[in-house]
Structure 1
Amino acid sequence: MKKLTSIWLLAMLCIIGKTTFAQSGNAETDAIIKQMRNQNSKGTIHFEAMGASITDNATVIKGPKGIYDLGSSFLTDHGDGAQVHLFLAKIQTGTQLLLQNKDASTIAMINGTVYQVTGTANLKVSGKNVSGTFTGVLYAVAKNKSKAATVPSGKISGNFNNLNLSL
């Protein structure tokens, strides 16, 4: 009986240790990680800007301040580093402004340069599925600078399909 109790206690400690190790220790971060893991792999985003045409896996993630990040998946890497992240205040059918504020700034990274993006997204929400298009203007952010240029660098447009709202 004593041996059985020791084995049971050891097994419980292993389970608790594994569970504790798998968490970040920050509830908000854990919630985002869970959303990323629950995304389906069918979501895609395609965009064209600065002479580049990029197609990538995509996700929708709800951040801790209730802001949605619709964009390139953090779980895949195509090696070129090109990605776009559209920050939106809400996910609902219709035209939404791409956010540019202290909490979230819509960005694109193309050919090693980071751009702030101003523009709109046209969303179509059907159940837990999101698709749509977006257009915007790019403003380059110089390396080691926190603010974007005031002169536009170009335009960006694209579409996204089969994004899963597993929030």
Structure 2
Amino acid sequence: MEITIRKGGEADLPAILGVLDSAVTWLNARGITAQWGTEPFSARPKAVRQVEDTMAAGDPWIAEIDGVPAGTMTLTPFPGQHVPPAGEPEVYVRLLATGAGFHGRGVGTALLAHAVAETRRQRVPLLRVDCFAGSGGRLIEYYESQGFTRTTPFEVGDWPGQVLERRL
């Protein structure tokens, strides 16, 4: 099994939404409904617009296994609306997700390694990401295992989040 990562574009919106939708299904099957809710991204017009806007603001990337989209992320030069910018050049990982049938196969690790390489290629010293801080902090621990360090916690309503960074 080989993971290939390719740059995405506007035409990849259905594939990206498909990965995000299957991630919601995977999370919900494990009782995790607070992270991304219970409705697919593609069924929520506001979420679709958010994905489109994020893709337009940066570089979407698709991880494929045997030609099938297995994961996605978009790298932007700034965070989303609920996190303040770093105050220095940064690359921000947004909408990172692994498709339901591809968990445990290294897709997220491959995408984050690509984010590190892309950040270095751009000669930017700071890579940041934010994640859901609920569910016992499992996502925070995952990012820490990938070389990120916790910085700022935040909340959007009752949704707990955590910003993490990796200096390069």
Q: TM-score, normalised by structure 2?
A: 0.29
Higher helix share: 2
Greater C-alpha Rg: 1
Q: TM-score, normalised by structure 1?
A: 0.29
Higher strand share: 1
